[in-house]
Amino acid sequence: MSLFDILVKQSPNKVFASLLLGIIAGLSFAFLMPLILISLEEASTRLFQSTSDSSATFLSLEVSNIRFAVAYLCLFLTIMISKAGSQIIMSNVSIDATRALRLRMYRHIAKLRIRDIESIGHSNLIVRLTTDIGNIIGGVRVLPVILINIVTIIGLLGFLVYLNVEVFLLLILTIFLAIVSYHIPMILSVRFFRHARHYTEILQESIRGLILGSKELKLNDSKREYFYQEKLRSTEDEIRSGARKGWYTMYLAISYGDLLSFMVIGLVVFVIQNYYAIDTAELIGIIMALLYMRGPIAELLNVLPALPLARISLKKVHDLFNDYPAENTQIENQKIAPWDKIILNDVVFTYKNQLENADISDANDFESSELEPSDLSTADNFAGTNFSIGPIQLELNRGETTFIVGGNGSGKSTLAKVLALLYKPEEGHLVFGDSVICDKNTADYRQIISAIYLDFYLFDEILDAKTSELTETAESYLKYFQLDDKLSVNDNEFSTIDLSGGQRKRLALLVSFLEDRDLYIFDEWAADQDPEFKEIFYTKILGDLKQKQKTVVVITHDDRYFKHADKLVTMENGKIRDITTKDKKSVEAEVSEVQLTEEQLA
Ligand X SMILES: Nc1ncnc2c1ncn2[C@@H]1O[C@H](COP(=O)(O)OP(=O)(O)OP(=O)(O)O)[C@@H](O)[C@H]1O
**List of residues contacting ligand X (CB under 6 A):** 118, 351, 380, 382, 385, 387, 406, 408-414
Q: How far is the CB of 126 from ligand X (least distance, A)?
A: 18
| Amino acid (one-letter) located at 75 | L
CB neighbour list of residue 93: distance below 8 Å, 6 or more residues apart? 7, 10, 11, 14, 15, 18, 140
Number of residue whose CB is nearest ligand X: 382
Residue 549 CA: distances (Å) to CA of 417, 437, 552: 22, 22, 9
Q: How far is CA 46 from CA 9, 68, 470, 520, in A?
A: 55, 14, 89, 96
Q: Least distance from C-beta 574 to ligand X, angstroms?
A: 7
Q: Which is nearer to ligand X, 182 or 537 (CB)?
A: 537
Residue 54 or 353: the one with the smaller Cβ distance to ligand X is: 353
Q: Which of residues 19 and 552 has its CB atom nearest to ligand X in the complex?
A: 552
Measured CA to CA, the distance from residue 520 to residue 451 in angstroms comes to 6
Least CB distance to ligand X at residue 422 (A): 11
Nearer to ligand X, 167 or 571 (CB): 571
Sign of the dihedral defined by the CA atoms of residues 338, 339, 345, 350, in that order: positive
- Smallest distance from the beta carbon of 255 to ligand X, in angstroms? 49
CB-CB contact of 513 with 412 (8 Å):
no
The residue ranges of DSSP E strands in 252-406, in sequence order, are 341-350, 388-397, 401-406
Question: Between residues 53 and 427, which has the closer beta carbon with respect to ligand X?
Answer: 427
Quote the crossing angle between the two packed helices 66-111 and 3-10, to the nearest 10°: 90
As measured in angstroms, the least distance from the Cβ of 382 to ligand X is: 3
d(CA 560, CA 557): 9
| Closest CB 394 distance from ligand X, rounded Å | 15
Residue with Cβ nearer ligand X (324 or 351): 351
Minimum distance from residue 356 beta carbon to ligand X (Å): 12
Min dist CB 242 to ligand X, Å, is 29
Q: How far is the CB of 334 from ligand X (least distance, A)?
A: 30
Residue among 513 and 525 whose Cβ is closer to ligand X: 525
Q: How far is the CB of 383 from ligand X (least distance, A)?
A: 8
Q: How far is the CB of 402 from ligand X (least distance, A)?
A: 15
Could you tell me the smallest distance in angstroms from the CB atom of residue 412 to ligand X?
Answer: 4
Amino acid, single-letter form, for residue 21: L
Q: How many CB atoms lie within 10 A of CB 228?
A: 14
Residues 6+ apart with CB under 8 A from 20: none
Residue 134 or 391 with smaller CB distance to ligand X:
391
Nearest to 26 by CA among 303, 306, 305, 296: 296
CB < 8 Å & 24+ apart, contacts of 436-440: 436/594, 436/596, 436/600, 436/601, 438/600, 439/327, 439/328, 439/329, 440/329, 440/332
Q: Residue 295, exposed/middle/buried by CB under 10 A (0-12, 13-18, 19+)? A: middle
- Pick between residue 381 and residue 500 the one whose CB is nearest to ligand X: 381
CA proximity to 243, closest of 204, 207, 189, 205: 189
* CA-angle at 271, arms to 270 and 276, nearest 5°: 120
> Smallest gap, in angstroms, from Cβ of residue 591 to ligand X?
21
**What is the rounded CA–CA span in Å between residue 249 and residue 252?**
5
- For the bound state, the minimum distance from the C-beta of residue 567 to ligand X, rounded and expressed in Å, comes to 17
- Residue 461, phi-psi category: left (phi > 0), alpha (psi -120 to 50), beta (remainder): beta
Q: Which is nearer to ligand X, 294 or 575 (CB)?
A: 575
* CB nearer ligand X, residue 261 or residue 414: 414
Q: Which of 33, 418 has the CB closer to ligand X? A: 418
Q: Which is nearer to ligand X, 292 or 403 (CB)?
A: 403
3-class secondary structure, 280: helix
Distance CA 422, CA 440 (A): 14
Amino acid at 42: E
- State which residue, 96 or 528, has the beta carbon closest to ligand X: 528
CB 456 within 8 A of CB 505: yes
Alpha carbon distance 546, 401 (integer Å): 7
Report how far residue 576's alpha carbon sits from residue 566's, in angstroms, rounded to the nearest whole number. Answer: 16
